[in-house]
Structure 1
Amino acid sequence: MQIFSHSVRVSSVAVLVVIMGLTLPNAVWAGPGEAGHGHGGQTIGERGKASKSTRIVQIKLIDNAYEPESIQVKPGETVKFVLRNDGQLLHEFNIGTAEMHAVHQKEMAMMMEHGMLTPTGVNDKAMNMDHSTMPGMAHSMKHDDPNSVLVPPGQTKELTWKFAQGGKIEFACNIPGHYESGMVGNVKFQR
């Protein structure tokens, strides 16, 4: 009696992705043709430790722009970002590729639609409830990705990030309409 009619092959890339996923739990990946976390492909970096940061970069979040609009980093550098929202609206600082931002924008739109986010803040009660029973939300959503932070008006937050060795990376606000109105900046790698 034959149990399997086809042999199963595991590619070395798949094994590497699993190993890296186990050893780099804070790493964020952008895969070819797909965006998000945990997919094989180019890493954009990982959550950094503030004690390991080589410098502090202060960024102002205003309605709907960043000051400065671009930053320069060295490949592998750990940067502590101090993010001050001088605007009247809730803003986000999210490090990723354009493809990752496109996926995250859909998630943020759902969070707004379900009352988890408002134009000026975070509804903690709605954010912490189980959303699996709501249409279009397959799981409990939280805004807790290591590459992202929400900053309400008048507040200051921090995010420490260890950048990858290169790539095309942006920082952006993915709250509905903000990215489209120009709230996106570039990360330029120094050589």
Structure 2
Amino acid sequence: MTHAPPTRRRFQQLLALAPLAAWLGHRPAGAHGENHPGGAAAAPVVKEQKPWGIAADPKEANRTIQIRMTDNMRFTPSHLDVREGETLRLRAVNSGQLLHEIVIGTPEELQAHAEMMKKHPGMEHDEPYMAHVPAGKRSDITWTFNRAGDFEFACLLPGHFDAGMRGTIRVKPQA
């Protein structure tokens, strides 16, 4: 049995890995990876109804609210008033030096997710109701608040949530 020369064998190995490399290059960004500037990954929006609403396409946004994130573990503004049925583009702008994120949810779900992040700090997750924002960057969440109620947004990175990096969203019922 003869072996192929090392250069040919190496070429065949690389060729065999090409489909895997292409798949890895086209999958959505992980939770703590870099988002595309000014928005989420190019993958189609997954529209799954949540207690706090449903994902929307960016072109459906009625208005844009800029939420600034800083290393003093605060969001500005820290409270949003929304009308039931309104679609917002939440533009998270990280003006700090640390990675931050913004995740929308119920207080209970955010607390549980923050606890899980403490146990598994490298955990990757990417959902339409969250944005991971490297220092000096921005990212958008486009969301339809189709359920009235009181909800929250928070940075769930270990230590950030416990330091008070959270805000509130009041979705007022339609008149």
Instruction: Indicate whether the TM-score tops 0.5.
Output: yes
Query: What is the aligned partner in structure 2 of residue 85 from structure 1?
Result: 94
The one-letter amino acid of 1:162's match is: T
Determine helix, strand or coil for the equivalent of 1:83: strand
**CA RMSD of superposed structures (Å):** 1.6
> C-alpha displacement at 1:110, in angstroms?
3.7
Query: What is the aligned partner in structure 1 of residue 48 from structure 2?
Result: 27
Q: Deviations over 1:12-46 (max 9, x none)?
A: xxxxxxxxxxxxx62253xxxxxxxxxxxxx2111
CA distance in 1, matches of 2:118, 2:53: 25
Query: What is the aligned partner in structure 2 of residue 171 from structure 1?
Result: 153
Q: Unmatched 5+ residue regions in structure 1?
A: 1-24, 30-42, 117-140
Q: Unmatched 5+ residue regions in structure 2?
A: 1-45
Greater CA radius of gyration, 1 or 2? 2
CA distance in 1, matches of 2:52, 2:118: 24
Q: Deviations over 1:131-180 (max 9, x none)?
A: xxxxxxxxxx5321221111111111111011132122001111112122
The one-letter amino acid of 1:53's match is: A
Instruction: Describe how 1:63-78 pairs up with structure 2 within 5 A.
Output: 63=71, 64-78=73-87
Determine helix, strand or coil for the equivalent of 1:176: coil
Instruction: Describe how 1:26-175 pairs up with structure 2 within 5 A.
Output: 26-29=47-50, 43-63=51-71, 64-112=73-121, 116=122, 142-175=124-157
Is residue 183 from structure 1 mapped to residue 161 from structure 2 by the alignment? no
TM-score (norm 1): 0.62
Count of residue pairs the alignment pairs up: 127
The one-letter amino acid of 1:60's match is: R
The one-letter amino acid of 1:185's match is: G
CA contact (8 A) 1:73 1:188 kept: yes
CA contact (8 A) 1:28 1:147 kept: no
The one-letter amino acid of 1:27's match is: E
Determine helix, strand or coil for the equivalent of 1:168: strand
CA distance in 1, matches of 2:111, 2:143: 21
CA distance in 2, matches of 1:190, 1:168: 9
The one-letter amino acid of 2:67's match is: I
CA distance in 2, matches of 1:161, 1:92: 16
CA distance in 1, matches of 2:116, 2:53: 21
Determine helix, strand or coil for the equivalent of 2:148: coil
Determine helix, strand or coil for the equivalent of 2:147: coil
CA distance in 2, matches of 1:51, 1:176: 33
Identity %: 35
